Amino acid sequence: MSRAAPEPVQIVKQRRDAALSALVDGLPYARFLGISFDRRGDELTGVLGFHEALIGNPELPALHGGATAAFLEVTAIVGLSWAMIWDDLERGMLDAATLTPETLPRLPKTIDFTVDYLRPGLPRDAYARARVNRSGRRYASVHVEAWQDNRARIFAQATGHFLMPPRDG
């Protein structure tokens, strides 16, 4: 019995990074806010690069609660979509080389989103990770946490429910 040789690492990385780019490039609002994603295997970390337009309180100064909420929601949607396409991508059912924002599966739609503000967002980069707690055929529940300098010091968290896009079969 001989197993198929593992794919070269470059091929694997290219495929995954191309799919992630297609997903994130399809979100003009993520670009507007300055959000990018770091990938380690299937784990994504949202990065909100600090810029002045994110400020809500110039006196402190602190990030705007709306900017924080938006960062959490973008991270939740990208995290959920990524989990949704990962298996198809790895099984070769999605061809990353031809994926564009237009040919990707539709995005999940937010049903509700509840943000819990724990401390002021400082005027510097922020990071967030989403955890898909449940993802069924129609509904999903996602929790997302954001931090800045210190991973253990979360400054905001949220839970959202999402309507999954219709899938074939």
Partner 1 sequence: MSDTSSDAAPEAARDAAEDMAAGAKADVARRFIEQIPHAHALAMRIDQLGEGRAELSMPYDSRLVGDPRNGVIHGGAVSALLDTCGGTAVLSHPEGPAHTATISLRIDYMRAATPGQRLVARAECYHVTRSVAFVRATATDDDRGHPVATATGTFTADGGAE
Tell me whether residue 90 is exposed, middle or buried, using C-beta atoms within 10 angstroms of its C-beta: 0 to 12, 13 to 18, 19 or more. Answer: middle
Q: Would you call 164 helix, strand, or coil by DSSP?
A: coil
What is the rounded CA–CA span in Å between residue 74 and residue 67? Answer: 10
Interface with partner 1 includes 85 (CB under 8 A)?
A: no
Q: Are 21 and 38 in contact (CB under 8 A)?
A: no
* Amino acid letter for position 153: R
- The answer to whether 165 contacts partner 1 (rule: CB under 8 A) is no
Amino acid at 154: I
Distance of alpha carbon 103 from alpha carbon 151, whole angstroms: 35
Kindly state the smallest distance separating residue 142's Cβ from partner 1, in Å: 13
117 is a site residue for partner 1 (CB under 8 A): yes
71 binds partner 1 (CB under 8 A): yes
Q: Which one, 1 or 59, has the nearer CB to partner 1?
A: 59
* Residue 37 makes contact with partner 1 by CB under 8 A: no
Q: Is 47 in the site for partner 1 (CB under 8 A)?
A: no
The residue from 79, 113, 130, 145 that contacts partner 1 (CB under 8 A) is: 113
- In terms of CB distance, is 56 or 83 closer to partner 1? 56
User: How far is Cα 153 from Cα 147, in angstroms, rounded to an integer?
Assistant: 6
Residues at the contact surface with partner 1, assessed by CB under 8 A: 26-29, 31-33, 52-60, 62-71, 73-74, 77, 101-102, 106-107, 109-121, 155-156
